[in-house]
Structure 1
Amino acid sequence: MRHIAIIGSGPAGYYTAEAAQKHWGDDVHVDIFDMLPVPYGLIRTGVAPDHQSIKGVSRRFEKTNLNENVRFVGNITIGKDISIGELQDLYDAVVLATGAPHDRELDLPGKELGNIFGSAAFVGWYNGHPAFADLAPDLSGKHAVVIGMGNVALDVARILSKTPEEFAGADIVQHALDALAASNISTITIVGRRGPHQIMMTPKELGELMHLERASPYVDPQDLPDEAEDALLEPGLRKSVRHLRDFAAIPASIHGDTPVTIEFDMFASPLAFHGNGKVEEIEVEETTVEAGRAVGTGKKYRIKADLVVSCIGYRTSPIPDVPFDDRAGRFANDDGRILSGLYAVGWARRGPSGTIGTNRPDGYSVIEKIVEDSESGALGNGGKKGREGFDALAAERGLDVVTFRDWKKIEEAEEAAARDGAPREKFVDVASMIAARK
């Protein structure tokens, strides 16, 4: 019997568990640990609440968890409740699938001003993550600025621009829905250092901006390169740029008829935040793109900003005694191998890149490496205690473990509390989650 511990219950963790189960069948026990009492990681607290079809992948993960040789171990914090070393003593292999839950900091003068948030915090706020439920962004101003040219920036801009009715069927939490319903924001500026040919936004997400009830997207036609140059782009990016060209062609009268405008301010590199206690403006420098890099031109201007959300990337959380690549913001690893018996998968391995589906081949790949190391004798001769050993340690330390059966009770309570048309009303604090399993 092989015993594998997976730290993190998001897509990377569950795809890894699925791969282990397919390889070893009944000859493996997989324990999936998470610091929260609820599973699914960014599927629950990262994917936009109005993208329910994407969240449907959790049904696949549930199927994995309903097998007796895969177990969810929630409400356990690695490094606090149990160390990596202790897990390695108990399990043949330990796989870090912790994702990248922290914002990459935009280290600029004025960053301490109020109403400036990273996307992990802001997305966590409207998705009900317990760490960010009390964020309370001030939406009373007219001007919001979203920094970044990826899909997360689009998610934030879209969520800020929607009417309450457009959230029908979404699992946005009530405190965020109430705040957005009272919002005064009328201009959302998406700021990016480079131009249309360097955006990381995908066609589907860009296309959604054309179907908002009270908002319209705007692109300055002068920011667009010669259309003939689009032919050199890969097909997905070419479609995205096509959307930008469509935005640029929207008549001015349309913008005048919509209460909210989503403006794309490209070739603009943020330099500093300005304000009195709370952010009021962002100072930026015009750029030009040379060999794919944004180069400042020396020309500066300011953008009004009553709210700022920085969407420039994420970092993995370091864990005591685990080698960490601080520059890359992920665990130091050689194609998934960190140390003997210790592995990384997903964003914890490669950094925040790819889609949810990218984690499937990643999970299968790390299991192949564990198989190789097992067959070579690098993981020892087995005989470790696995979940039996963990259960004994948890009892000794009085750890309050939340099981998958407990999670189903939490889920049932969330579904029962849902407003009309919504799939659930999430608990936004750990105590309420734990209480709901009783």
Structure 2
Amino acid sequence: MFPKVIAIPRLCKRHLNQFLKQHIRQCVTVPTSSVPHVCVVGSGPAGFYTAQQLLKGNPDIVVDIYEKLPVPFGLVRFGVAPDHPEVKNVINTFTKTAQSERCSFIGNVEVGRDVTLQQLRKAYSAVVLAYGADDDRTLGIPGEELNNVISARSFVGWFNGLPQDKDLKVDLSAERAVILGHGNVALDVARILLTPVDILKKTDISQHALDALSQSCVKEVLLVGRRGPLQVAFTIKELREMIKIPECKPNLNPKDYLKLNDLLPDLPRPRKRLTELLYKTALEPTPTDKKLWAGAKREWRLDFLRSPVHIYGETKATGVKFAINRLEGEDPVIKTAVVTEETEDIDCGLVLRSIGYQSVSIDKDIPFNMQKGVVSHSQGRVKGLAGVQVVHFSDWKKIDEAEVKKGKECGKPREKLVNIDSMLKIASSCE
């Protein structure tokens, strides 16, 4: 059989492991007389979790992990904020996997450049695409091409030492920065901009970024989102960290949070806890918080119901024009942002776009949905790849057993299968 090609979606660890258990092991079906040999493209968390599940599920399987960089671990190395070292502890588990006798790390080999998908399909029982999302979603508005309009992905790569972003031009000479987005990455970026350098220098932040941040003039960071406080996408852990940044204070407009307290009883628990913290931070800060914020040199705030429509500047960003939105929808959490004719201008010298990532096609033979920025697939199996399912004699035995079983049910020695698709489905089953 030509090997199956499997695309790994962007999921959290728990949901990713669930996906792997449901799909990956069943997809790796090879003749019983041979050793299954699987290729995993990408050595980030998805790639290593896939390898772990495969090695755990089959004592004979062999896994090769391909990585375009000379170093492994993907987002764990280049995406996790430097002040979150505990998150990187998973590298220890990944290292054990890579050192297994049945697992090989093959770095500095780029699929689509050094080896093709077709070559991999011929060499392996299955190919798993776990190379992640390597491009940014864009706003598509005037001024997005100006200097100092930077994607959060590139900025994170810059301070984390990702080779492709090491020479990113980041001008920190302005006092105000605007971050477009209300997700965890947006808060990570804001926290790095606002955290004292004396704290950052004790982390594994890249030296070129540390040097630039030590000269930073940024004193105010605005995180702007198109919907309201009940729709923010960051989690309570990241919010707590923002509240506790030394020498920095939140500047939250109480009017944005006044009505939240009445809605708390009806919210799901995670959303309730997050919303409650927003409410208390804005309206009922503790004495400890007030003491922490006293004499703060920097501040941050959350702006809601704003959609960017134009970034100003001649060569470098000097401000953003926002359309004012209104929310529509019956559910207090699930709301749609509708743009109105009202606008607002906000001056700034740095704009960071944190509105999500998307995948790119790494090989001409990968069926890729350019509009959605994803590999075309059905429940993980890549669509549109030509392949012939070879039926071995051991597979015929499965068909034989199925025919005999079906025959016994109607008092016959056998009931022959006449549908080829049914024969192939039985032949490729794991039973």
> Hey, what's the Cα distance between the residues in 1 that align with 2:337 and 2:366?
35
Q: What letter corresponds to residue 192 of structure 1 in structure 2? A: G
The gaps in structure 1 that reach 5 residues or longer are 343-373, 380-438
- 2:248 paired with 1:205: no
C-alpha deviations, 1:371-415, integer Å up to 9, x for none? xxx995559xxxxxxxxxxxxxxxxxxxxxxxxxxxxxxxxxxxx
**Aligned mate of 2:370, from 308, 315, 326:** 326
The CA deviation at 1:223 is 1.4
Q: 1:304 to 1:376 in 2, by over 3 A?
A: farther
Identity %: 38
Query: Is the partner of 1:4 in helix, strand or coil?
Result: strand
Q: What pairs with 1:396-411 in structure 2 (closer than 5 Å)?
A: none
Q: What residue number does 2:316 align with? A: 278
Q: What residue number does 2:351 align with? A: 308
The CA deviation at 1:88 is 0.1
> Hey, what's the Cα distance between the residues in 1 that align with 2:298 and 2:36?
56
**Aligned mate of 1:263, from 281, 301, 304:** 301
**Aligned mate of 2:52, from 6, 9, 18:** 18
The CA deviation at 1:218 is 1.9
> Hey, what's the Cα distance between the residues in 2 that align with 1:177 and 1:165?
10
Query: Is the partner of 1:228 in helix, strand or coil?
Result: helix
Q: What residue number does 2:79 align with? A: 46
Equivalent pair of 1:218/1:247 in contact (CA under 8 Å): no
C-alpha deviations, 1:115-174, integer Å up to 9, x for none? 001111110000000000000300011110011010000000000001112225421111
Q: What residue number does 1:417 align with? A: none
Q: What residue number does 1:4 align with? A: 38
Higher relative contact order (CA 8 A, sep 6+): 1
The CA deviation at 1:286 is 1.3
> Hey, what's the Cα distance between the residues in 1 that align with 2:37 and 2:153?
33
Structure 1 outlier segments of 4+, above 3 Å: 250-256, 339-342, 374-379
Taking structure 2 as the reference length, what is the TM-score of the superposition? Answer: 0.77
Q: 1:339 to 1:301 in 2, by over 3 A?
A: closer
For the pair shown, the structure with the greater C-alpha radius of gyration is: 2
The gaps in structure 2 that reach 5 residues or longer are 1-34, 330-334, 387-423
> Hey, what's the Cα distance between the residues in 2 that align with 1:252 and 1:290?
36
> Hey, what's the Cα distance between the residues in 1 that align with 2:208 and 2:426?
53
Query: Is the partner of 2:251 in helix, strand or coil?
Result: strand
> Hey, what's the Cα distance between the residues in 2 that align with 1:375 and 1:61?
35
Equivalent pair of 1:109/1:273 in contact (CA under 8 Å): yes
Query: Is the partner of 2:313 in helix, strand or coil?
Result: strand
The CA deviation at 1:269 is 0.9
Q: 1:15 to 1:238 in 2, by over 3 A?
A: same
> Hey, what's the Cα distance between the residues in 1 that align with 2:351 and 2:68?
29
Q: 1:375 to 1:59 in 2, by over 3 A?
A: farther
Over the aligned positions, Cα root-mean-square deviation in angstroms equals: 2.2
The CA deviation at 1:257 is 2.6
The CA deviation at 1:240 is 1.5
Q: 1:376 to 1:12 in 2, by over 3 A?
A: farther
Q: What residue number does 1:154 align with? A: 187
> Hey, what's the Cα distance between the residues in 1 that align with 2:205 and 2:385?
39
> Hey, what's the Cα distance between the residues in 2 that align with 1:253 and 1:107?
43
Q: What residue number does 2:116 align with? A: 83
Q: What pairs with 1:101-180 in structure 2 (closer than 5 Å)?
A: 101-180=134-213
Q: What pairs with 1:279-428 in structure 2 (closer than 5 Å)?
A: 279-291=317-329, 292-319=335-362, 320-339=364-383, 377-378=427-428
Which range is displaced more, 57-66 or 165-174? Answer: 165-174
The CA deviation at 1:232 is 2.2
Q: What letter corresponds to residue 150 of structure 1 in structure 2? A: G
Equivalent pair of 1:284/1:302 in contact (CA under 8 Å): yes
Q: What letter corresponds to residue 354 of structure 2 in structure 1? A: C
Query: Is the partner of 1:257 in helix, strand or coil?
Result: coil
> Hey, what's the Cα distance between the residues in 2 that align with 1:306 and 1:187?
11
> Hey, what's the Cα distance between the residues in 2 that align with 1:73 and 1:261?
45
